[in-house]
Amino acid sequence: MSKPKVASDWMAGCSGCHMSFLDIDERIVKLVELVDLRSTPITDLKQPDEAGVDVGILEGGINNTANEEVAKLMRSRCKILVAFGDCAVFGGVPALRNFFTIEDSLKRVYKDIESNDAEAIIPSDPELCKPTRVRAVHEVVPVDIFMPGCPPDADIIFYVLSELAQGRMPELKNDKLMWN
Amino acid sequence: MVNITIDDKKFEVPEGTTVLNAAREAGIDIPTLCNHPMLTPYGGCRLCLVEVDGFRTLQPSCTLPVINNMVIRTDTPKVRAARKFILNMIFSERNHFCPYCLVSGGDCELQNAAYAEGMTHWDLMPNWEPHLLDASHPYIIIEHNRCILCRRCVRACSELVGNFTLGFEERGAQCTLVADLGVPLGESSCIGCGTCVQVCPTGAMIERWSAYHGLEKDVKRTKTICVGCSVGCGIETISRNNRLVGIDGDWDASVNNGVICDIGRFHPVNDERIRLTMPMMIKNGSRVEVSREEALRSAAEYTKSNKKEQTIAVISTRLPIEALDVFKQLFSAIGILATTLEEGLKTKPIATLADSGRYPTEATLDELSHSDCVMVIGEDITKDHQVTSFFIKRRVPSGLKIISVSSEPVGLKNFSRLHLKINAGSEVEFIQSLINTCKSEKIDEQSKTGIKPDDFQQVVDWLKTSKNPLIMYGQEYFKNKFLDAVEKLTELAEASHAKLISTKGGANSLAASQLGLDQPISLDGVKNVFFVVGDERLSEPVLKKFEKVSNLIVLASYHSPLTDVAQIVLPIQTWLEDEGTYLNVDGRLQKSIRSFEATNQIKSCTDELLSMAEYVGVEIDKNWKTRLTQRRSPVEIDENKMKEIQ
Amino acid sequence: MTTKKITIEPVTRIEGHAKITIRFNEDGSVEHAYLHINEFRGFEKFCEGRLISEMPTITPRICGICPVSHHLGSAKAGDAVLGVVPPRPATLLRELMHMGQVVQSHGMHFFELAGPDLLLGFDADPATRNVVGLIQSNPELALRAVALRKWGQEIIRIVGGRRIHPNFAIPGGVNKALSTVEREEILKGIDDCIATTLTGIQLYLQWAEAHQEDVNKFAVFPSGYLGLVTPENGLELYDGNIRLKDASGKQLECFSAKDYLDYISEHIENWSYLKFPYYKKMGYPAGVYRVGPLGRLNASDKIDTPLAQEEFLRFKALNKGKPVENTLHYHYARLIETLFAIERVRILLDDPDILSTDIYNNRFNFQGEGVGIIEAPRGTLFHHYWAKENGQIIKLNLIVATGNNNWAMCNAVDSVAKTYIHGPEITEGQLNRIEAAVRAHDPCLSCSTHAIGQMPIVIDIRDTNNQLIKQVRRYA
């Protein structure tokens, strides 16, 4: 049996969950023996394999049209989807933006801020995505495993990945369950 | 006794026990959120739902009394599903941001409840409607986004403190916590005691000065007593890295059962004064740091060599009995007048009467909980001795008749069945008129007090017909007529069959009085003052009074205008670093326990005074207990406690 | 010939979401390349109404690589708003945590993010051109790199309780002192980390020598340079005044954080959510400046720790004392800063105040407005808060590290595209080089847009009518 393929991506998060993943330190050597890391933000493959991966991991919530695409793509190409970190699980700190309208947020940042120069405009190039309400991943695509934490501890991440690598569903409870 | 079955095990419990308490007694833990051991059950959160045979729906165990032969199941799939669903509903109702919340990571009862159910996420998402963050109060911040509407704060504010400030308004999704009729907390009737914060299960109620200083796992708790006033409430200091980060009321303390006031809870954490770290002396016109030995030696020489009549010694009543006793012995031996900053004003008249056997033994504070009528005169107890006012105010719903008497508005006014506004300075006449009314003697219609005979009659009627009537009094408004007042109050107590409670004053006022440290301070002709300030915050009048003294020797914890001009300054430990015994208003002897070690090798007041005594050449006897009881006291001093204390 | 546009989405091995589009002239040469930063979260809006005491725990969620920069910058802004000066031991502890962060972030970037390009080659197989490939090809070096990052992260955890998003600094000081045992634990790792960093420097210098041509044509351009400095203009990463030099190395300004609005403005382009900070007096784009390791070393005149100073002199010599303009030398500068940070850790741990429990000052003198600055690994970070006396934030401005480098990154992308791409056939290696231009700046795009993102690379080749001619996708 070949190693399970794992792909990850990040959306409206801060990359802290992926950094916590790197906090497994030397265990990364053991991990790459257990899994085949495909596309991730820190490797150079850009998208999850068209042929599909076993585990898809998404960090960050969804706060724009580009994130929606990323989430849908990952869901369509993986068997098990993991919502990685508080932002993916419920929206996280970026969800504070939902207290305000997107218009007000754009206006404050791109028009009114004290350091903006006189020609301040709100970016609107078609190359750019559009901001949307901040949502948890499971509000956009079905999620199989929720790994809360901000970020989840490296030990928890290692546990989840090793369980999945060995064909088991991880059980997150007691010292493996954290939201802070 | 009632027979019940919980989770297939049989138990016998007293009638009236709730299912929750019965389960807990049996070692079965049912999760709760709105429930709190010090508050009446509410049944609001529904987390404690259990299956009961014969009942159609799940039942809240916190409010359900046991019935004979009841069969209860606390751990079925239906119960577990209900708990998860309830928690889901709670999380979706408001905006819970665990990532950055100050109690997240161990101190949030909501988060811990979710962990216990293995919740990794919520299916129902909030609608992200923003709720208010009320930061209008100097000490207490309410973050409504985290409120779970458990009502603990409302119950604490009414049942424990009796201030009735907090409440709920509106229903359903609009239901929300409000202060008074919906004003910012900082503009409300809130007295800032912080009991609401202590009971809040989430990060909805925040203590401004303690926020982010550490979770429970980072801090150290020490059970000790507050030395803010004579009540001596039991508290828990919360410290980290040798610094105070918070204070909680000690639920286990029998004096106050966990309630404390804002002076006890918030003032010490918010202390901005600068610590004295080194002994200092003025030499050749300038202030220099000296060794402790030099400071003590110089102080001793100074005290010995100067004319006795030109020297007095003053000490703060915040210091333990051990220090007060050494102080008294030391200066009596040298022949120098020794007294406290209070000058015995609040205690001497009572002590004199008590010693001569003409004063009835006072009631204790817990008698306020089974009295039907209390009259309060001579002090605004909601300012000084606040916690005594809690014991009184919270009994309004159960019918306690409160009579407050004062010439100016006092905090008890709005809680009183009868508030009598008397003319200023007529307090003693007022009491006399009551005595006359008791004896059915005529009262002068044109009474100096401005109070009508009908009102006097009402007061007397209530005192005479109530169970355990009490008269609580302080010295403040009586001013220099306190001795008369106490004599009259003694007469009134006898005539109306009421008992007396005097508030006394500072933490160890009563002890100081018992030790004879109760002389008035006159600075006429006084050139030298040996001033043990301790950690007391000196008022403007006191600072002004003592600034003019030519030679000051000060033992203090903090810098002040006095330490700036003193000849000799010796730093001493604060109440948090020191240990010692305190005699509270009720006659209880309580120990103040050290919360953390002093730095810079600063010693306790008692140690410095003992060292002084060595330098002066006075032998000190350490057995203060005999001296504490050498005169009869207005309250019964707890003999049992005396034996316990070493 | 039709005008073409090429899109690179996402740029990988950077922190954040970036997209590059390249527009071609009629003759097939590159007309312009754009770096679109494609995300916006809005911290500068949604922090309104929060408490000052919450800001040091909210703002680190801007970035998970350098949360400590935001944590400390926010606490410093809180200090300024509340008019409080933390006790010296608190400042030492904050700096200690910050040095740990600089080491872990710089270390990770060189060995794990940028490293694969240098150590495995720009044109290496993308499937293995990453940290995993490094582990497989040079396990010993990879483990040392992991150990370097680990030591940095452990400093943060030891000092503040947790590696990522610690709760440690508060306005007025910090909430945890350092114990003797903890101090010993940190001291233990210093020598190995210095060795690893020196190895990294060696590796880079060897690579640079072997690729002189690349080094000299890869995004080499003039700009201003900005960074914090000590009173004697030495490199500073925690506190100090802000120094700005022009392209020739002459000092233009040296100002205090609170005055930044007098000197720095932000320009906005329609095609990027990331703003473009620049030196007000020279206007945009003449007044653009670079920050981060290259910017800081160019802005300073010396480094106060011996090993780093030795390398610094070598660095300065690269352009005979004038500012070093080669984008690839960011990697060298980054490692020199890592050396400095490790040496600072030793100095801090040897300070007698480092174990003191005098770590919090509650004597506030409310000012209402305050600016906190700090050198995040990627550049100068500004947190500017306006608050009500009740502690709630009225409004805030954040100019975040990498954002200062926006123009430089865009320019680098444009420059590399024009240097290396000449015809309609584009190799994966060429695209990777363009990404490397971004990568060299070690951008923290989460930070800079106070948001992040990333997308796969798809290259659409379209004609003037925007009809798709060809699509080149890049993934295995």
Q: Say if residue B340 is in the same domain as residue B357.
A: no
The answer to whether B133 contacts C170, with C-beta atoms less than 8 Å apart, is no
The answer to whether C175 contacts B240, with C-beta atoms less than 8 Å apart, is yes
B501: nearest Cα among B385, B641, B356: B385
Task: Give the lowest-confidence range in A151-160, B494-503, B521-530, C460-469.
Answer: C460-469
Query: What are the two backbone dihedrals, phi and then psi, of residue B639, each rounded to the nearest 5 degrees?
Result: -65, -35
Per-position b or e across B533-571, b if 16+ CB within 10 A of its CB:
bbbbebeeebeeebeebebbbbbbbbebebbebbbbbbb
CA–CA min distance C322, chain B (Å): 45
User: Residue C467: inside a domain, yes or no?
Assistant: no
Would the pLDDT of C7 be above 90?
no
| pLDDT score for C133 | 84
Is the peptide bond prior to C285 cis by the omega test (within 30 degrees of 0)? Answer: yes
User: Residue A113: inside a domain, yes or no?
Assistant: no
Mean pLDDT of B399-404: 96
**Contacts of residue A100 in chain C, CB cutoff 8 Å?**
42, 45-46, 48
CA–CA min distance C21, chain B (Å): 36
Rounded distance, CA C415 to CA C341, Å?
32
8 Å CB contact between C347 and C41: no
The answer to whether B218 contacts C51, with C-beta atoms less than 8 Å apart, is no
Whole-number Cα distances in Å, C106 to C132, C152, C155, C303, C449: 18, 10, 14, 17, 20
Would the pLDDT of C464 be above 60?
no
| pLDDT score for C448 | 55
Query: What are the two backbone dihedrals, phi and then psi, of residue B378, each rounded to the nearest 5 degrees?
Result: 90, -10
CA–CA min distance A147, chain B (Å): 7
Residue B231's domain is classified under what CATH number? 3.30.70.20
Rounded distance, CA B36 to CA B395, Å?
20
Which of B132, B206, B212 is the mutation pick for testing C, counting most C CBs within 10 A?
Answer: B212
Beta bridge partners of C474: C457
| pLDDT score for B600 | 82
Q: Say if residue B529 is in the same domain as residue B640.
A: yes
Residue A62's domain is classified under what CATH number? 3.40.50.700
User: Residue C428: inside a domain, yes or no?
Assistant: no
Give pLDDT tens digits for C90-125: 999 999 999 999 999 999 899 988 888 888 888 888
Q: Say if residue B252 is in the same domain as residue B358.
A: no
Q: Which of B97, B100, B121 sits opposite A89 (nearest CB)?
A: B121
Rounded distance, CA C190 to CA C346, Å?
8
The answer to whether B105 contacts A180, with C-beta atoms less than 8 Å apart, is yes
Rounded distance, CA C475 to CA A45, Å?
5
The answer to whether C53 contacts B213, with C-beta atoms less than 8 Å apart, is no
8 Å CB contact between B142 and B27: no
CA–CA min distance C250, chain A (Å): 25
pTM: 0.94
The answer to whether A105 contacts C38, with C-beta atoms less than 8 Å apart, is no
Q: What ipTM did this prediction achieve?
A: 0.96
User: Residue B96: inside a domain, yes or no?
Assistant: no
User: Residue C413: inside a domain, yes or no?
Assistant: no
Q: Which of C46, C112, C446 sits opposite A105 (nearest CB)?
A: C46
- Per the structure, the count of domains in chain A is 1
Q: Say if residue B228 is in the same domain as residue B291.
A: no
Total Cβ atoms within 10 A of residue B50? 26
**Contacts of residue A108 in chain C, CB cutoff 8 Å?**
42, 44-45, 48, 395
Residue type, B503: T
Give pLDDT tens digits for A30-59: 998 999 999 888 777 878 999 999 999 999
Looking at chain B, the whole-number percentage of residues with pLDDT higher than 70 is 99
Rounded distance, CA A68 to CA B428, Å?
81
Rounded distance, CA C291 to CA B343, Å?
67
Rounded distance, CA A165 to CA A33, Å?
10
Would the pLDDT of B422 be above 50?
yes
Q: Partners for A (CB, 8 Å, 3+ pairs)?
A: B, C
Rounded distance, CA B503 to CA B48, Å?
43
* Alpha-carbon dihedral sign for residues B34, B40, B44, B49: positive
The answer to whether A136 contacts B121, with C-beta atoms less than 8 Å apart, is yes
User: Residue B472: inside a domain, yes or no?
Assistant: yes
The answer to whether A44 contacts C127, with C-beta atoms less than 8 Å apart, is yes
Mean pLDDT of B257-286: 95
Residue C459 token pair? 């290259």
Rounded distance, CA B293 to CA C108, Å?
57
C54 lies within 8 A of chain B by CB: yes
User: Residue A126: inside a domain, yes or no?
Assistant: no
**Contacts of residue B136 in chain C, CB cutoff 8 Å?**
390
| pLDDT, chain C, mean | 89
Q: Say if residue B150 is in the same domain as residue B190.
A: yes
The answer to whether C357 contacts B209, with C-beta atoms less than 8 Å apart, is no
Which of the two residues, B308 and B518, has the higher pLDDT score?
B518
Chosen domain end from B265, B293, B317: B265
| pLDDT score for C436 | 84
| pLDDT score for C455 | 30
> ∠C200-C201-C204 over CA atoms, to 5°?
85
Residue B456's domain is classified under what CATH number? 3.40.228.10
Q: Which residue of A has its CA nearest to C284?
A: A117
Which of B241, B272, B275, B576 is the mutation pick for testing C, counting most C CBs within 10 A?
Answer: B241
Q: Which residue of B has its CA nearest to C174?
A: B213
**Contacts of residue A21 in chain C, CB cutoff 8 Å?**
none
Q: Which residue of B has its CA nearest to C46?
A: B130
- Give the confidence band of B446 by pLDDT, cuts at 50, 70, 90: low
CA–CA min distance C73, chain B (Å): 16
- Per the structure, the count of domains in chain C is 1
The answer to whether C362 contacts B270, with C-beta atoms less than 8 Å apart, is yes
Rounded distance, CA B51 to CA B7, Å?
10
Rounded distance, CA B131 to CA B144, Å?
6
Q: Choose the most confident range, by mean pLDDT, from B390-394, B524-528, C455-459.
A: B390-394
Rounded distance, CA B427 to CA B419, Å?
14
Q: Which residue of B has its CA nearest to A100?
A: B130
CA–CA min distance A64, chain B (Å): 17
Which of C54, C176, C354 is the mutation pick for testing B, counting most B CBs within 10 A?
Answer: C54
Residue B464 token pair? 């005479």
Q: Partners for C (CB, 8 Å, 3+ pairs)?
A: A, B
Domain that holds residue B59: 2-75
Mean pLDDT of C378-392: 97
Would the pLDDT of A94 be above 70?
yes
| pLDDT score for C470 | 58
Q: What is the DSSP letter of B603?
A: B
Residue A15 token pair? 């990359």
| pLDDT score for C469 | 57
Query: What are the two backbone dihedrals, phi and then psi, of residue A176, each rounded to the nearest 5 degrees?
Result: -100, 5
Domain that holds residue C57: 43-404
The answer to whether A177 contacts B100, with C-beta atoms less than 8 Å apart, is no
Quickly list DSSP for A133-180: EEE-GGGTS--SEEE--SSPPHHHHHHHHHHHHTT------GGG----
| pLDDT score for B451 | 92
| pLDDT score for A1 | 59
Total Cβ atoms within 10 A of residue C94? 26
- Per the structure, the count of domains in chain B is 4
Give pLDDT tens digits for B190-232: 999 999 999 999 999 999 999 999 999 999 999 999 999 999 9
Q: How many CA atoms lie within 13 A of C7 on its CB side?
A: 22
Could you tell me which residues of chain A have a Cβ less than 8 Å from any Cβ in chain B?
Answer: 83, 86, 89-93, 95-96, 98-99, 133-136, 138-139, 143, 145-148, 150, 172-174, 177-180
- Give the confidence band of B644 by pLDDT, cuts at 50, 70, 90: low
Residue C80's domain is classified under what CATH number? 1.10.645.10
CB pairs under 8 A between A and C: 231
Domain that holds residue A150: 5-95+131-173
Q: Which residue of A has its CA nearest to C18?
A: A128
Would the pLDDT of C449 be above 70?
no
Which of C8, C9, C14, C17 is the mutation pick for testing A, counting most A CBs within 10 A?
Answer: C17
Residue C448 token pair? 């800079």
Q: Which of B135, B241, B243 sits opposite C51 (nearest CB)?
A: B135
Longest dimension (CA), chain C: 72
CA dihedral C144, C147, C148, C153 (to 10 degrees): 160
User: Residue A62: inside a domain, yes or no?
Assistant: yes
Name the 3-class secondary structure at A98: helix
Mean pLDDT of A122-137: 93
| pLDDT score for C399 | 95
* Alpha-carbon dihedral sign for residues B165, B171, B175, B181: negative
Rounded distance, CA B303 to CA B297, Å?
10
Query: For residue C105, how far is the Cα from the chain centroid?
Result: 9
Rounded distance, CA B57 to CA C311, Å?
76
Q: Which residue of A has its CA nearest to C264?
A: A115
Total Cβ atoms within 10 A of residue A92? 28
- Give the confidence band of C450 by pLDDT, cuts at 50, 70, 90: very low
| pLDDT score for B646 | 53
Name the 3-class secondary structure at C265: strand
Q: Which of A17, A28, A96 sits opposite C64 (nearest CB)?
A: A17
B212 lies within 8 A of chain A by CB: no
> ∠B119-B122-B123 over CA atoms, to 5°?
125
8 Å CB contact between C289 and C225: yes
Give pLDDT tens digits for C259-275: 999 999 999 999 889 89
B468: nearest Cα among B500, B508, B442, B426: B500
8 Å CB contact between B423 and B449: yes
Give pLDDT tens digits for B121-130: 999 999 999 9
- Helix runs in C211-291, H state only: 212-217, 260-263
Would the pLDDT of C85 be above 50?
yes
Residue with tokens 């006084």: B526
Q: Which of A86, A135, A147 sits opposite B99 (nearest CB)?
A: A86
Task: Give the lowest-confidence range in A41-50, A126-135, B448-457, B578-587.
Answer: A41-50
**Contacts of residue B105 in chain A, CB cutoff 8 Å?**
178, 180
Q: Which of B95, B98, B123 sits opposite A86 (nearest CB)?
A: B98
| pLDDT score for C446 | 55
Contacts of B73-82 with CB under 8 Å at 24 or more apart are B73/B6, B73/B7, B74/B6, B74/B7, B74/B23, B74/B28, B74/B30, B74/B50, B75/B7, B76/B51, B78/B51, B79/B49, B79/B50, B79/B51, B80/B117, B82/B46, B82/B49, B82/B58
CA–CA min distance A162, chain C (Å): 17
**Contacts of residue C126 in chain A, CB cutoff 8 Å?**
44-45
CA–CA min distance B64, chain C (Å): 40
B217 lies within 8 A of chain A by CB: no
Rounded distance, CA A59 to CA A80, Å?
14
Q: Say if residue B355 is in the same domain as residue B340.
A: no
Would the pLDDT of C458 be above 50?
no
Residue B630 token pair? 């050498």
Mean pLDDT of C137-149: 92
Q: Say if residue B472 is in the same domain as residue B581.
A: no
Residue B176: its H or E element:
strand B176-179
Rounded distance, CA B215 to CA B220, Å?
10
B498: nearest Cα among B378, B382, B362: B362
Rounded distance, CA B274 to CA C363, Å?
9
User: Residue B121: inside a domain, yes or no?
Assistant: no
Query: What are the two backbone dihedrals, phi and then psi, of residue C174, each rounded to the nearest 5 degrees?
Result: -135, 170
User: Residue A47: inside a domain, yes or no?
Assistant: yes
Rounded distance, CA B489 to CA B498, Å?
10
Residue C209 token pair? 């020598």
User: Residue C17: inside a domain, yes or no?
Assistant: no
Q: Say if residue B365 is in the same domain as residue B497.
A: yes
| pLDDT score for C456 | 32
Residue B328 token pair? 């008294």
User: Residue C153: inside a domain, yes or no?
Assistant: yes
Rounded distance, CA B35 to CA B150, Å?
8
Q: Say if residue B313 is in the same domain as residue B379.
A: no
User: Residue C34: inside a domain, yes or no?
Assistant: no
| pLDDT score for C468 | 60
The answer to whether C362 contacts B240, with C-beta atoms less than 8 Å apart, is no
Rounded distance, CA A118 to CA C266, Å?
9
